[in-house]
Amino acid sequence: MATSSDPDRTAVVSGDVRLTTQQLSDLADGGAGIVAGSQASHVAYIGTGGVMLPLLIFASARAGVTFTPINYRLSADGIKTLVARLRDPLVVVDSRYVEELGGPDGLEGVAKRVIVSDDFLSQAADAEPAAEFADPDSVGVVLFTSGTTSQPKAVELTHNNLTSYVTGTVEFGSAEPTDAALICVPPYHIAGVSAALSNLYAGRKMVYLPIFDPEEWVRLIDAEHVTSATVVPTMLDRIVTVLQAGGHRLASLRNLAYGGSKVPLPLVRTALELLPHVGFVNAYGLTETSSTIAVLTPDDHRDAQAAADPAVLRRLGSVGQPVPSIEVQIRDESGVVLPAGQTGELFVRGEQVSGRYTGIGSVLDAEGWFPTRDIATLDEGGYLFIGGRSDDTIIRGGENIAPAELEEVLVEHPHVRDVAVVGVEDPQWGQAIVAVVVPAVGADPDPDELREHVRKSLRGSRTPDRVVFRDELPTNATGKVLRREIVEELRAAPAE
Amino acid sequence: MIKNGTRLASQVCDTQVIVVRSADSLDDLRCGGAPMVELAAERSGELDPAFAEGSVMGKRYVDEAGAEVLVTKAGAGTLAVGETALSLKEAKPLPASD
């Protein structure tokens, strides 16, 4: 479709590579020929992305083969373990990771064939093309979850899931000819996959920044006249630091989307103040839902910022309203659907929702609802508030405590830059509440003052038993706080 | 019922669609007055001037039964279920989120 609409439009900019829609399509046809010729049942990609990501997504689809981008930051053993879970894969790997994986034969035994990314790119230009139309119910993409709380699960997304997401949230060719998106989310994250699909569908030039760097991000916004971008919380934090140093206006930028995990509210406010001409978008979604299922729009941000009504003001901390093609329910532990204002587990339903894992099967209930395992509340206006993962719930003295509730209070303290609240084993309470605080620059917060700050807003039983200080929180590349690491570290050094 | 993701072509113009949301009504999906067929199927007939309003590339069309098709190639014919024309789906634009 994109090819027939405007074949000569620049579709991808990635380092020195610039491709029109037609060139990308031709390369994908040739790439499909390579994939089909390898007789692989799966294509795996180990690398930083850029042009390789849209190319391999479409080449795999046109060969009727499932595609899996793998986290290149994992150890060689970690990567091999994941590749071994795929059936007869053709593995495409960036040259810089070949050595780490033990040289050209390093993947022997787990891969059917290995090809270096640059070779795939050059061979795709000459290969005998293939262009099959995949069965809509076949699995187009398998993504491994980040596995912050358990072993990575292999999420299966069908072509129908992915296209439903795109057609449900994006109008074809709706971008202006001068629009450009800056993409810096990693290729193995659902946002990386959805960015390649939705921007091509919208007719928006995709500018890739495979290895995130805040200065380079700012430079590319100006150099490529970027009009929209998506960042995860840790990236937003680093960009704000660069902007605060001064000298950048990001004049071309119209939309800045953030998501991936919870962004501290003070950081959102600072970003809004620094970039008054930019429309901010908070996007919420899961791998299992083929990306975004709820959006807090630029207008929502402005309304909340200007609101006198506390209910509207609060929405700055929400993930907005569900997209039109998604239904949501909040249920209690016994499965009863809760009304607005009450907190429970978020269930979602829609064509873009997969809820299916390799080796586990579908976890959808009989009516097609997917349990997100996220704690959530809807307000009277239908705005969705996410209160963290139910797996992270602390049980202290028989009371269930959502860490997010304490974190939202603590991060508003002027001496707190970032915070994670976790439960650690405790002989008296079962679990004790520990707040791990990253102090604001130049601040030296007093633990008792922070505990008092929480006690004033929440019940006494929700006050941290201990407050400890760290220079930073451990996060993965997409900004998710690694709570398990924090707990293990606290357990190893309990006396503080 | 036709499966979501099925691609269909007009027999009498260039229109091609993909089924986004199926319903039983699509069993009688027509374009330009003639039944739509699988891409590889043989085609015959002529455009009916009463159904020649055209289809627009990239737009979604819906009927009252909740069926939805996406035009992947524009053509001269009107999309219809039986003799009732499909209507253009007006989508509330969402901001770019990825």
Of A160, A174, A323, the CB nearest to B4: A160
Q: Quote the ipTM score.
A: 0.89
Predicted confidence band of residue A133 (pLDDT cuts 50, 70, 90) = confident
Q: Do B93 and A171 touch (CB under 8 A)?
A: yes
Cα distance between residue A95 and residue A108, in whole Å: 17
Q: What is the pLDDT of residue A495?
A: 53
CB A29 within 8 A of CB A71: no
Q: What does pLDDT average to over chain A?
A: 94
Q: Which helix (H) or strand (E) holds A484?
A: helix A483-492
Q: What is the pLDDT of residue A261?
A: 86
Over residues A155-182, the pLDDT tens digits come to 999 999 999 999 999 999 999 999 999 9
Which of B6, B91, B98 lies closest to A292 in CB terms? B98
Q: Which residue has the tokens 């399509």?
A: A25
CB-nearest to B97 from A164, A204, A283 is A283
pLDDT digit string (tens) for A450-483?
999 999 999 778 999 999 999 999 998 888 899 9
| Residue linked to tokens 């070779």 | A119
- The mean pLDDT of A426-435, rounded to a whole number, is 93
Q: Who contacts A464 (Cβ-Cβ below 8 Å, separation ≥6)?
A: A406, A421, A433, A434, A435, A450, A451, A454
Is-contact A72 A118, C-beta < 8 A? no
| Contact check, Cβ <8 Å, A255/B57 | no
* Separation between Cα atoms, residue A215 and residue B39, nearest integer Å: 50
Note whether A169 contacts B97, CB cutoff 8 Å: yes
* Chain B residues inside the 8 Å CB shell of A281: 95-97
Contact, A242 vs A249, CB < 8 A? no
Whether the per-residue pLDDT at A91 is higher than 90: the answer is: yes
Cα A354 from chain centroid (whole Å): 16
Please report the residues numbered 114 through 153 in chain A whose beta carbons come closer than 8 angstroms to any beta carbon of chain B.
133, 135-137
Instruction: Compute the average pLDDT of residues A380-392.
Output: 94
> pLDDT tier at A131 (50, 70, 90 boundaries)?
confident
What is the reported pLDDT for B44? 94
CB contact under 8 A, A137 and B72: no
* Residue-level pLDDT at A1: 78
The pLDDT tens digits of the residues spanning A107-124 come to 988 999 999 999 999 999
pLDDT in tens, A332-357: 999 999 999 999 999 999 999 999 99
pTM of the entire structure?
A: 0.92
A323:B21 CB<8 A:
no
pLDDT tens for residues A211-248?
A: 999 999 999 999 999 999 999 999 999 999 999 998 88
Say what the pLDDT of residue A382 is: 97
User: pLDDT value at position B85?
Assistant: 97
Percent helix / strand / coil, chain B, rounded to 5: 10, 35, 55
Please indicate whether, in this complex, the C-beta atoms of B97 and A1 are within 8 angstroms of each other. Answer: no
pLDDT band for position A494 (cuts 50, 70, 90): low
| Residue A264 reports pLDDT greater than 70 | yes
Give the model's pLDDT for residue A437. Answer: 97
What pLDDT is recorded for position A148? Answer: 66
Distance of alpha carbon A169 from the chain centroid? 17
The set of residues, in sequence order, having a beta carbon less than 8 Å from that of A183 and lying 6+ positions away, is A49, A192, A195, A196, A199, A206, A207, A208, A209, A229, A230
Residue A478 pLDDT: 82
- The strand pair at A344-349 and A370-378 is best described as antiparallel
* Mean pLDDT across A390-418: 93
What is each CA distance from A421 to A321, A343, A415, in whole angstroms? 27, 19, 16
CA angle A53, A364, A403 (to 5 degrees): 80
Average of pLDDT values for A12-24?
96
Q: Does A281 touch chain B (CB under 8 A)?
A: yes
Average pLDDT for residues A279-308, to the nearest whole number?
96
The CB-side HSE value for A125 (13 A sphere, CA atoms) comes to: 7
Average pLDDT of the residues in A407-412: 95
pLDDT band at A154 (very low <50, low <70, confident <90, very high): very high
pLDDT score, position A149: 64
* Percent of chain A's residues with pLDDT above 90: 86
Q: Percent of chain A scored above 70 by pLDDT? A: 99
Chain B residues within 8 A of A163 when measuring between CB atoms: 5, 18, 20
CB-based contact (8 Å) between A169 and chain B?
A: yes
